Amino acid sequence: MSATAISAAIQLRRARKVPLLSGELSGERLVLVDLAPAFGAPRRARATRPAASKVLPEREFDVPSLHAMDADVKVNVRRAELGRLFAQPLEPLQGDLSLAAAC
């Protein structure tokens, strides 16, 4: 299994008052540390391993920016490796990620 065995079909609808991100994330194996560049961390070489206690970059998560859009994303992954967050991988990881603007 490869960390790149993930696919996503995502659509951003900007025509709404609050944009909507929707779609599905699916695949064989999700390795959380591989998502770190999406949160601003520098890309790492494939051969290196993350520091034992660090999974995501050390910077403040901008919670107010979550109000910039709504989201409805389905997650269907056979195996999710979350680093030190969990002792064992989650097999399978299925669920819905939803963000809705507060009225």
Alpha carbons 100 and 21: distance in angstroms, whole number:
11
The model's pLDDT over 11-43, given as tens digits with 9 standing for 90+, comes to 989 988 888 989 998 999 888 777 766 656 666
**pLDDT score for 51:** 52
For residues 53 and 65, give the distance between their C-alpha atoms in angstroms, rounded to a whole number: 26
Over residues 37-69, the pLDDT tens digits come to 665 666 665 544 545 555 445 555 566 666 778
Integer Cα distance of 18 and 22 in angstroms: 13
**Cis peptide leading into residue 19 (ω within 30°):** no
The answer to whether the beta carbons of residues 70 and 21 sit under 8 Å apart is yes
Strands (E) in 1-103, as ranges, are: 6-13, 20-31, 70-81, 93-99
CA distance 98 to 71: 5
What pLDDT is stored for residue 24 in this prediction? 94
pLDDT of residue 68: 78
37-41, 81-85, 89-93, range with the lowest pLDDT: 37-41
Q: What residue ranges do the domains of the chain occupy?
A: 1-41+69-103
